[in-house]
Amino acid sequence: MPQKPDDEQLARRAEAERVENGVDAYDPEDVPAAAPPSEGTPTGRTPGTEDVRRSGQYESERAEVDRELARGELDPDQLQARKDRRNFPPTRYDE
C-alpha cells in the first residue's frame, strides 16, 4: 500500500460512489462532448430570426381557436390578457 493515497483516484472513486448512490445525476466524464450545431438544425439558428406566427403548427392552432370561437365553445374573454378580463365570471341570474 502506498504511503500517500492518490488524490485523483480518490476523487474518481468518490464521484463514482456519489453517482451510484444517486447524490449526483451523472458522471461528467461519461458525457460525450457536444457536437457543434450545423446549419438548419434548431440549435444552429440565431434566436429570434424565425417568426413563429408563420409556422404550420401556429396556423393550425390558430384555426382551431377560430373554429371553437365560431361554435361558441370559447368565450372571447378567454383570449384577452388576464388584466383586461372581467373580474368575475358572467352570471346567469338577472340582476
Cα dist. 69→9, 60, 62, 66 in Å?
66, 14, 11, 5
pLDDT confidence of residue 38: 62
Looking at every residue in the chain, the average pLDDT score rounds to 76
pLDDT confidence of residue 19: 81
In the chain, which stretches have pLDDT less than 70? 1-2, 27-28, 37-49, 77, 80-83, 85, 95
Cell of 53: 406566427
Residue 30 gets the label, from left (phi > 0), alpha (psi -120 to 50) or beta, of alpha
pLDDT confidence of residue 1: 54
pTM of the model: 0.35
Block residue for cell numbers 340582476: 95
